[in-house]
């Protein structure tokens, strides 16, 4: 067999098409890569409960990185252990407190698969209900009783920069923050020092696969560290410019089987 590679897949905008499905062509390529002994894993900002269906669909047997590195575990092997690196409880409550000085719609705290929502909101309940988590609604300063894996602030575009600036001024040493616009403007906060690359390093050590044989695919700013770390850091055709600038190469978009085409050529899989 050719040398073993670790193939790392972001989900939204990368492995998943815009309709949130995996194309049959890319799936065929990934199956062929696994047959030949390469390892395939997922690294996503999503919680495990909303990535498990894709893990199962690809019949993976690898660890998975969730919450952008704040939660890493192996669904098929308990001996791998669980790496959970939540935000400090006092930091989380400080952030909730300071948000009251700004305009925001809601704050969501996730503790692995438990969800805490500051204000009742039907639209959010539909989105976060995926995978049937335990949902608690009410003032997070009172109801949040465990250190959160991640904190999400739902706000308006014009408030986003103001709140992010405040977070940078006050909490820069203890948090990592990112923002995303789909399905609405959100600021996502995890513990300082975390990224998908942190989880990826652990998994590559577990498999004994060096950096130069890691092939990682991504499209957004939460993929920057991972794409930078991987020997083959590949940006999707639909990726943000910042990611394309640091990537080793740019492949086709998530709608055009970018992952499938790239792996088929690089690893000479002859699958498509």
The residues annotated with a catalytic role in the active site are 10
Q: What whole-number distance in Å separates Cα of residue 81 and Cα of residue 86? A: 16
Q: What is the 3-state secondary structure (H, E, C) of 223-236?
A: HHHHHHHCCEEEEC
Q: What whole-number distance in Å separates Cα of residue 96 and Cα of residue 109? A: 10
How many other C-beta atoms can be found within 10 angstroms of the C-beta atom of residue 168?
A: 11
Tell me the two tokens of residue 227.
């794409």
CA-nearest of 242, 238, 246, 231 to 200 is: 231
| 235 touches 256 (CB < 8 A) | no
Could you say which DSSP state residue 2 is in? P
Mapped onto helix, strand or coil, the DSSP state of residue 167 is helix
CA-nearest of 31, 41, 48, 90 to 62 is: 41
C-alpha 37 chain-centroid distance: 25
Q: What whole-number distance in Å separates Cα of residue 144 and Cα of residue 46? A: 20
CA-nearest of 68, 95, 86, 89 to 171 is: 95
C-alpha 81 chain-centroid distance: 19
CA-nearest of 186, 8, 197 to 105 is: 186
């Amino acid at each position: 067999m050719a040398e073993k590679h670790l193939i790392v897949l972001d989900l939204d905008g990368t492995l998943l098409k815009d309709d949130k499905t995996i194309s049959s062509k890319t799936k065929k390529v990934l199956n062929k890569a696994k047959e030949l002994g390469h390892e395939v894993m997922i690294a996503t900002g999503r919680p495990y409960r909303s990535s498990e269906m894709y893990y199962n669909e690809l019949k993976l047997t690898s660890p998975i990185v969730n919450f952008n590195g704040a939660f890493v575990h192996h669904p098929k092997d308990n001996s791998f252990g669980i790496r959970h690196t939540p935000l400090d409880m006092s930091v989380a409550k400080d952030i909730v407190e300071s948000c009251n000085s700004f305009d925001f719609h809601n704050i969501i705290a996730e503790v692995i698969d438990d969800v805490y929502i500051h204000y009742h909101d039907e639209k959010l309940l539909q989105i976060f209900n995926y995978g049937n988590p335990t949902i608690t609604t009410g003032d997070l300063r009172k109801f949040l009783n465990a250190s959160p894996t991640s904190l999400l602030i739902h706000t308006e575009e014009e408030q986003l920069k103001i709140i992010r600036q405040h977070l940078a001024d006050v909490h820069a040493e203890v948090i990592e923050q990112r923002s995303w616009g789909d399905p609405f403007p959100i600021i996502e906060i995890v513990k300082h020092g975390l990224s998908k690359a942190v989880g990826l390093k652990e998994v590559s050590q577990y498999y004994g696969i060096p950096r130069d044989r890691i092939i990682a695919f991504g499209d957004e700013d939460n993929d920057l560290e991972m794409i930078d770390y991987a020997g083959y850091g590949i940006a999707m055709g639909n990726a943000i410019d910042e990611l394309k600038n640091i990537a080793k190469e740019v492949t086709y978009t998530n709608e055009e089987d970018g992952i499938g085409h790239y792996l088929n050529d690089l690893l000479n899989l002859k699958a498509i």
